[in-house]
Amino acid sequence: MVTSNLKNLILHRLKEKREYVSGEELSNSLGVSRTAVWKHINELRKEGYNIESSSRKGYRLIELPDILDERELYVPEGQHIGRELIHFDEIDSTNNHAKKIANDGCPHGTVVVAERQTLGRGRVGRLWQSDNNQGLWFSIVLRPDLEPEQVQIITLAASVAVVEGIFRDLGINCGIKWPNDIILGNSKLCGILTELSAEPGHVNYVVVGIGINVNQSFSEFDADIQDKATSLQIHAGKKISRVKLLAGILTCFEEMYNKVLEKNTKDIIDRWNKYSVTLDREVKIVSRDMEYIATAQSVAPDGKLVVKCKDGTVREISAGEVQV
Ligand code: BTN
């Protein structure tokens, strides 16, 4: 028997029973020696499974680890998201890997998730601190039948999915700061980096990369972001299960993605507006040759921010130009 299979079978038995299972019962039912059972139990412990042992009663699973691999992560049964899950302990960037496998033809809906990123990327060439296993760092590969100009709606849908996934799981209300930052209080909780491969009139694939600060304490954030960043644990005052949260967000993403395909743009934008902390606020527009203050009014289906200038003119602004 392949040893990783044996380990998973032992784990399966312990999960099924949640009571003590004797070493003898495991070794007999799996047809291996008790030493082999003991060896695999120790490996599971090293992977973070809390397994109690008693010389008389055997082994009992006490607690599951918060690891985002296919053994623990429940992926919603839907048509699109997460039919394939790729997990890394460490990778440079889940977006980089997602783009690579998308170019090689991976299925629509593939999710790439990592415990840590060594080169997490943010918008406009910034770095995204994700060198720890305290957050959710993942990317989703999509192959939508959309025009390249329509893809921005997917980022809006993703922002809504994150806000609703967090609320459903934890009852915490977050806001969306245009273009696609998720904020909690006044600090940044999550960022979304959408990347696109397209030709005129045709989208090859879209990669939606999502980074959420989950269990970091303030001191774990790099000094330069400590006054801007927050995590769910800081807000809730307790450790959060990343496995459960990610499953919930993927479920919400599936729901929102169906709205994208149904062209139910209105519902997506209405929800986005409901969570927006940008609308009705003054924003500073910095374009190449001028700077001015305007009031944010709405978001257009192509993701542009509609602002009203002091002289009453209405303009559509794209992401690089605005300081909210
Ligand atoms: C931002 O600048 O606000 C966007 C941050 C996006 C970070 C996520 S983490 C998972 C995915 N992989 C990356 O390298 N970036 C995105």
So what's the ipTM on this one? 0.99
Residues 299 and 235 in one domain: no
Which whole number is the average pLDDT over 120-131? 94
For the Cβ of 122 lying below 6 angstroms from any atom of ligand 1, the answer is yes
Total of domains in the chain:
3
Residues 98 and 195 in one domain: yes
Answer whether 230's CB lies under 8 Å from 193's CB.
no
Cα-based torsion angle of the residue sequence 150, 151, 157, 161 in order, rounded to the nearest 10 degrees: 170
Average pLDDT, the chain: 93
Q: Pocket of ligand 1, candidates 113, 126, 193, 208: which has the most ligand atoms within 8 Å of its Cβ, to mutate? A: 193
Task: Compute the distance from residue 120 Cα to the ligand 1 centre, in Å.
Answer: 6
Residues 12 and 45 in one domain: yes
pLDDT, position 137: 98
pTM of the model: 0.90
Q: Pocket of ligand 1, candidates 86, 137, 190, 231: which has the most ligand atoms within 8 Å of its Cβ, to mutate? A: 137
Whether the upstream peptide bond of residue 179 has omega within 30° of 0, thus cis, is yes
Q: Is the per-residue pLDDT at 173 higher than 70?
A: yes
Residues 8 and 58 in one domain: yes
**Nearest residue to 113 (alpha-carbon basis) of 246, 260, 294, 301:** 246
Residues 195 and 262 in one domain: yes
pLDDT, position 2: 57
Confidence of residue 277 (pLDDT cuts 50, 70, 90): very high
- Examine residue 75 and state whether it is found in any structural domain, yes or no: no
Cα-based torsion angle of the residue sequence 138, 141, 147, 148 in order, rounded to the nearest 10 degrees: 50
Domain CATH for 287: 2.30.30.100
pLDDT, position 286: 84
145: domain range? 85-275
Q: From atom 16 of ligand 1, which residue's Cα is the shortest distance away?
A: 209
Residues 292 and 270 in one domain: no
Per-residue pLDDT tens over the stretch 39-60: 999 999 999 999 999 999 999 9
Per-residue pLDDT tens over the stretch 240-256: 999 999 999 999 999 99
For the Cβ of 93 lying below 6 angstroms from any atom of ligand 1, the answer is yes
Residues 24 and 103 in one domain: no
Q: Which residue has the higher pLDDT, 149 or 205?
A: 205
In the structure encoding, which two tokens stand for residue 2, read together?
């392949």
Which whole number is the average pLDDT over 190-214? 96
Which DSSP string do the residues of 21-41 spell out, in sequence order?
B-HHHHHHHHTS-HHHHHHHH
